[in-house]
Structure 1
Amino acid sequence: MNLVSEKEWFIGILKENKRILYKVIYSYCHSSEDRKDLEQEIVIQLWKSLKSYNKDFKLSTWIYKIALNVAISHYRRDFKRNKANTPYDGTIFQIAEEEDFAEERIVKTELLYKFINQLDEFNKAIIILYLEDKSYKEIAEIIGLTETNIGTKINRIKNRLKESISIVNNELHGT
Structure 2
Amino acid sequence: MATEASRQERFAERVERHRGIIFKVANTYGHHPDDRDELAQEIAVQLWRAFPGYDHARPFSTWMYRIALNVGISHVRRAASRHEHAVPLDVELHDIPDDNGADHERDQQVRALHRFMARLHTLDRALLLLYLEEHTYREIAEILGITETNVATKVSRLKQRIRSEI
- TM-score (normalizing by structure 1): 0.86
> Cα gap change, 1:135/1:112 in structure 2, threshold over 3 Å: closer, same or farther?
same
1:1-175 equivalence runs, <5 A: 1-81=2-82, 83-86=83-86, 91-92=90-91, 94-97=92-95, 98=97, 100-165=101-166
> Cα gap change, 1:38/1:87 in structure 2, threshold over 3 Å: closer, same or farther?
closer
Give the superposition deviation at 1:91. 3.3
Could you tell me how far apart the structure 2 residues matched to 1:95 and 1:35 are? 17
Structure 2 unaligned segments of length 5 or more: list them: none
Matched letter for residue 123 of structure 2: F
**1:170 corresponds to which residue?**
none
Structure 1 unaligned segments of length 5 or more: list them: 166-175
Could you tell me how far apart the structure 2 residues matched to 1:121 and 1:87 are? 11
Give the superposition deviation at 1:67. 0.2
Give the superposition deviation at 1:95. 2.2
Could you tell me how far apart the structure 2 residues matched to 1:107 and 1:96 are? 12
Could you tell me how far apart the structure 2 residues matched to 1:44 and 1:78 are? 19
**1:168 corresponds to which residue?**
none
Could you tell me how far apart the structure 1 residues matched to 2:6 and 2:115 are? 41
- Whether the 8 Å CA contact 2:30–2:87 is kept in 1: the answer is no
- TM-score (normalizing by structure 2): 0.91
Could you tell me how far apart the structure 1 residues matched to 2:131 and 2:7 are? 31
Could you tell me how far apart the structure 2 residues matched to 1:63 and 1:101 are? 34
User: Over residues 19-76 of structure 1, what are the superposed CA-to-partner deviations in whole Å (9 max), with x where a residue is unaligned?
Assistant: 1111111010120111111111111110011110011210000000000001100110
Identity of aligned residues (%): 37
